Structure 1
Amino acid sequence: MEPSLEIIASLCFEKLKSLPKTGKPLDNEWTVLAGIVEHNRQTATSKVVSLGCGTKCIGQDKQCPKGYILNDSHAETIARRAFLRYLYHELNKDADSIFEWDHELVCYKLKQHYEYHFLCTQTPCGDACIEMKLETDDDEVKAKRLRISNNEEVIYTGAKRVNKSGPLSDEMEQTPGELRTKPGRGKRTLSMSCSDKLARWNVLGVQGALIDSLIHEPIYFTSLNFCSSVASVANIERAIFKRWQHKEFRRHFYKPQKPLIRISPKFQFDYAQQPKRQQPSPNGLSWSHLPDRLRPYEISVNGKRQGVTKKKVDTPVAALAISKYKLFVCFLELLGSQKEIRKRFDVLIEDLPKLTYATCKQLAKKYQEAWQQLKYEYFEQWTRKPSKLLEFKWIVQQTNCLRS
């Protein structure tokens, strides 16, 4: 039996409470929490494997071509990246891993009795926040809408509409079903809204291209859970999968999912926005289910590791363990230790430092083919990042973990 929303929320809240106070919001600050819970159907036990807190997103003019800086520090994205860190750790384990090696397929397979559940303390930014406009004379419906509009969490998204053909007359128009970039001040960000990212993961899986090239099948969320008094199941379902139900998408491995969506207003997050907490916390927090020696808990500011000096801001020292760069290093180190996969990719061990991030993403051929079709069918307006942001390589002297 899968864990209830109550169990998932309690596990995530308790895990955050157990982490050091450093980096958490001050008394007048608020944040959003997202978490991923792993459920073992064999033992009927659940545990938190990743957490993320954050509300910030940097503009496209501040993006780092070396992969050191997080572009998107919304809680949902941080939790997902912390989950990737957990997956790499499990892929590297010799025993008691969630994965098993398949010699015939020359890849890893997630053991069938594991499943994953997602939690967030707020409705995802973007389409899931937008209420369908229904004309009605029903006084009860009108009264409900009035209560919603007076609530602290208003049904409104600051995420900006994307139009492939050019600028929009009103990029903030609350039109249901459209793709949007993250809200934020200053220059527009290239990061897609959390609604759109969850919708993408709902088809391609949450594992991303690099890990996808190492495993047999994508990893999906079994349920999406929200602790919110104003979230709507109908709006979230539309954002995650129903807005594309009239379109076809057929691939052998990648299939649009219909996860269980659950909402409960009963769980009050300690750091939720409220009258005494009006300032968003400037920090991002990430935690992965890893040994303490690997520093599973990290604090970020403006997408960089907290405490980094100006002198080292443009070096790997500034990079969080969940940054593109550090997760890329995890991928290359795994290739360094796995001769059979290198042979399948036709890559020599001495060539690993020569590979770019972009080149390695293309190793996931079936994933990239599915993504191209998905963009054509669903996400034609998905933002495109400049190629220079994906051409970074591994600075080998920063680590001695390469194994033959």
Structure 2
Amino acid sequence: MAQTLRDSIAQSSITLYDTLPKHGKPTVRNNGVNEWTILSTISLVIPSSSSTTHIPSSSSASSSLDTSRVLPISLGTGVKVLPFSRLPPLGDALHDSHAEIIARRGFIRWLIYQASLFAPSSSSCANASGEEVFLERRDGKFRLKEGIKVWMYVSMLPCGDASTLHTAAHQSQDEAAQWDDNVGAMPQASDSTTDNLASIPSDDGSPLHVNAVGPTVVRGRNGYTNYSTMRTKPGRPDSIPSISMSCSDKIASWSVLGLQGALLEELFEAVWLNGLVIGGVDTPKSWEGSQAEWEVRVRNEVERALWGRLESIQDHLPPPYTLHKPAIHFTVVPFPHSKSAIQSSLPPSSPDPAPSPLSLSYIPSLSSQPKSTHKVKAGKPKPKPEIIANGTILSFVWKPPGKELMKEKGRSRISKFEILRAYEGLSTLLAESLIAGYQGEGNGQGQTSLTDNCHSTLTYCARKHRPGSRYQLAKTILRGHITPLSSTGTFTSLEQYGQVWTTDIDVDSEDGPALQLPIPPFRGWLVSGKEYEEFTSSGALRRG
């Protein structure tokens, strides 16, 4: 890849971040502690020959800026996650506020918004401002126009498996000692596995271990010298545990399932991540090789974490789902609010910087009009970033058990609840267009079923788990069949959170008997379960 495009993706992301107000960004606390955060964006890389109406199918996204432009469409910052006790049953608070997850959820909102511009019934008013439309519709489903690529930028390595080597090499002995009591409990590499891997030195010269056994889910950096391991957030040992899987695990799942998610399966083709640009890959002091050699080693680890550990199922996924292998590139463009940038600017006597408790979500093309207005209007207000604290808009507090819907002003536009409402708003737009077409042809058939499908009687869970969903089948091949057994009392450890999962998955074959699939590589994935998705867009709980 040409360096200009790699660094342009990073620079355009940081430039967009710089345009946002200071409120919600890292600051210096009253006690003198400096804050830091992580930045992530999802950007389109668009061939210069593209237009708002057509991109030639023969064009390809070049790696040179002479033939491409970079357009960040969703930005997120943050490092926080909600504990199990604060999971919202109505989907009105964000469980995971890590930067990469916020950027991806913003991308889902952007897809819905773009489709609303494309809808025939909205073309005369919704796109009066002449916004670019990057989607096309074929065979009843939306997709990105030919030649457009999707890239993610992250200011540091994603938490979890992709950053295990880098973390181990940069940790001080004091930091590593916080997990020493737990290292012995981790599965070790089998001889056959170790023989196939190059030895990787840690910061103290000891070998890293490979998790080649069992359905292990590890809390944070517990057993930080093991890799190919699913991990939960947060990483700090003194934090309240959660059941949120690491960003490495989630990005890896997008390599199989796409960025669009289960909710959009009916209206969108799968949208794949073409590549990641990652910052903050510093060479450790103990490394005796060159910077280039270190980057090769880290890149190999990231590739293994984000798609290499899923290769066992790549020939068993139901079309259109398949294992995509996003390109991995590193950038030296500095993010000024990264931990390393803040740390390097402080005097030696300064206290260690701390992660910001706030997150930002910014979708430049999405207006700041009231969330209840899902039809896009001309002359929309200028978009504003959302400042998120503890899963909700700053100054609004979610209160357990959460059976009363959070006030509209307190809900993020990227929460499950608001994404469901936006999705149903889009469905209504599309249904109205079809109904108008039927009526113009003197045909009223189908109107009832179309409008019924748009209303709020179906739960978020029901819309994600449609009969015959190939998305859900692909997810089952990835994870196995999972039945969560909810934790009781205070959630203090992963062992408290019971799950029943199976590895025996049969898939009907058109050419013969059912096929026995490989053991799901992400077996043991922690899920909140159906009880946290049984809400409707009207705010009703439909639990059995």
TM-score tier, shorter chain, comes to 0.7 to 0.9
Contact 1:51/1:286 (<8 A) preserved: yes
| 1:26 aligned partner | 27
Report the alpha carbon displacement of residue 315 of structure 1 after superposing the two structures with TM: 3.4
Q: Work out whether 1:393 is the aligned partner of 2:533.
A: no
Q: Deviations over 1:117-153 (max 9, x none)?
A: 1110111111011229999xxxxx86xx65999xxxx
Contact 1:283/1:300 (<8 A) preserved: yes
Q: How do 1:68-87 and structure 2 match up within 5 A?
A: 68-87=92-111
Q: Work out whether 1:223 is the aligned partner of 2:275.
A: yes
| 1:261 aligned partner | 328
SS in 2 for 1:12: helix
Contact 2:158/2:247 (<8 A) preserved: yes
Contact 1:36/1:49 (<8 A) preserved: yes
The alignment's TM-score, normalised by the length of structure 2, stands at: 0.63
- The farther-off stretch of 325-334 and 273-282 is 273-282
Q: Work out whether 1:175 is the aligned partner of 2:226.
A: yes
The amino acid that maps onto 2:37 is T
Report the alpha carbon displacement of residue 309 of structure 1 after superposing the two structures with TM: 5.8
Aligned in 2, Cα 1:87/1:166: closer, same or farther, shift over 3 Å?
closer
The amino acid that maps onto 1:317 is K
- The farther-off stretch of 310-319 and 37-46 is 310-319
| 2:317 aligned partner | 250
Contact 1:304/1:319 (<8 A) preserved: yes
Higher relative contact order (CA 8 A, sep 6+): 1
The alignment's TM-score, normalised by the length of structure 1, stands at: 0.83
SS in 1 for 2:245: coil
Q: How do 1:56-75 and structure 2 match up within 5 A?
A: 56-75=80-99
RMSD: 3.6
Q: Work out whether 1:333 is the aligned partner of 2:411.
A: no
Aligned length: 378
Contact 2:141/2:267 (<8 A) preserved: yes
Q: Work out whether 1:195 is the aligned partner of 2:262.
A: no
Report the alpha carbon displacement of residue 297 of structure 1 after superposing the two structures with TM: 1.1
User: Unpaired runs of 5+ in structure 1?
Assistant: 136-140, 150-155, 157-161, 398-404
The amino acid that maps onto 1:73 is S
1:279 and 1:242 map into 2 onto residues whose CA distance is 33
Contact 2:157/2:281 (<8 A) preserved: no
The amino acid that maps onto 2:231 is R
Report the alpha carbon displacement of residue 247 of structure 1 after superposing the two structures with TM: 4.2
User: Unpaired runs of 5+ in structure 2?
Assistant: 29-33, 51-67, 118-122, 169-188, 195-199, 283-294, 347-351, 370-382, 436-445, 481-519
2:393 and 2:158 map into 1 onto residues whose CA distance is 25
1:26 and 1:307 map into 2 onto residues whose CA distance is 17
Q: Work out whether 1:51 is the aligned partner of 2:75.
A: yes
Report the alpha carbon displacement of residue 204 of structure 1 after superposing the two structures with TM: 0.8
- The farther-off stretch of 115-124 and 295-304 is 295-304
How high is the sequence identity, in percent, across the aligned residues? 28
Report the alpha carbon displacement of residue 346 of structure 1 after superposing the two structures with TM: 5.0
Report the alpha carbon displacement of residue 361 of structure 1 after superposing the two structures with TM: 0.7
Contact 1:120/1:227 (<8 A) preserved: yes
Aligned in 2, Cα 1:46/1:186: closer, same or farther, shift over 3 Å?
closer
Contact 2:110/2:366 (<8 A) preserved: no
Report the alpha carbon displacement of residue 250 of structure 1 after superposing the two structures with TM: 3.0
Contact 2:36/2:338 (<8 A) preserved: yes
| 1:5 aligned partner | 6
1:221 and 1:120 map into 2 onto residues whose CA distance is 13
Report the alpha carbon displacement of residue 302 of structure 1 after superposing the two structures with TM: 0.6
The amino acid that maps onto 1:392 is F
Aligned in 2, Cα 1:111/1:167: closer, same or farther, shift over 3 Å?
closer
Contact 2:75/2:102 (<8 A) preserved: yes
2:154 and 2:478 map into 1 onto residues whose CA distance is 25
Report the alpha carbon displacement of residue 354 of structure 1 after superposing the two structures with TM: 0.9
Report the alpha carbon displacement of residue 368 of structure 1 after superposing the two structures with TM: 1.2
Aligned in 2, Cα 1:197/1:308: closer, same or farther, shift over 3 Å?
same
Query: Which residue, out of 335, 344, 364, partners 1:289?
Result: 364
